[in-house]
Amino acid sequence: MSALETALEVFESVDLQVVRSKSLLLSQHFMELVESRCTGFGLELSTPREARLRGSQVSFAHPEAFAVMRALIAQGVIGDFRAPNLMRFGFTPLYTRFTDVWDAVEALREILQERRWDSPEFQQRTAVT
């Protein structure tokens, strides 16, 4: 309990407006990078662009979303798949850096460009991504 109390005390000093602001900046940065770095690969933004309408996650549709997400996870980029064709990425503003967003987009670009998602190991459907 003392560890929990200490954690909660630290969290009391966190300004939630600052956390929300960073969350919006991270998700906006991600959307802009994906749209500029991953053009021509069949990605379609499914998340509202307007900041007040979105949370701390961004979803892109892709015909091979399941396999692409599996390939991303294999590279250490953790997101999830939502049927029928959505890749969902969450941004935790307390510890996600803008560098992490860049790295995730670069991994996505490489997977799409090199068609790494087309490997049999990523095509096999599982209960969860």
Q: What's the pLDDT tens digit per position in 2-61?
A: 887 877 777 777 888 999 999 999 999 999 999 999 999 999 999 999 999 998 999 999
CA 115 to chain centre: 19
pLDDT of residue 11: 73
118 DSSP 8-state letter:
G
| CA dist 51 → 24, 48, 59, 95 (Å) | 6, 7, 14, 20
**How high is the pLDDT of residue 128?**
64
User: Are the C-beta atoms of 2 and 22 separated by less than 8 Å?
Assistant: no
Q: What pLDDT, in 10s, does the model give residues 74-94? A: 999 999 999 999 999 999 998
- Domains of the chain (ranges; CATH) run 15-123 (3.90.1150.10)
For 7-74, the DSSP string reads HHHHHHT--HHHHHHHHHHHHHHHHHHHHHHSTTS--EE-S-SSGGG--SEEEEE-TTHHHHHHHHHH
Q: Report residue 124's pLDDT band, with 50, 70 and 90 as the boundaries.
A: confident
pLDDT the model gives residue 25: 96
Span 110-124, mean pLDDT? 94
The token duo for 29 is 């940065």
The single residue listed with the structure tokens 């670009």 is: 109
How far apart (Å, rounded) are the C-alpha atoms in residues 80 and 89?
7
Half-sphere exposure of 44 (CA within 13 A, CB side): 8
Does residue 127 carry a pLDDT above 80? no
* pLDDT (0 to 100) of residue 12: 79
* Global model pTM greater than 0.85: yes
What's the rounded Cα separation, in Å, for the pair 14 and 94? 9
How confident is the model at residue 126, as a pLDDT? 74
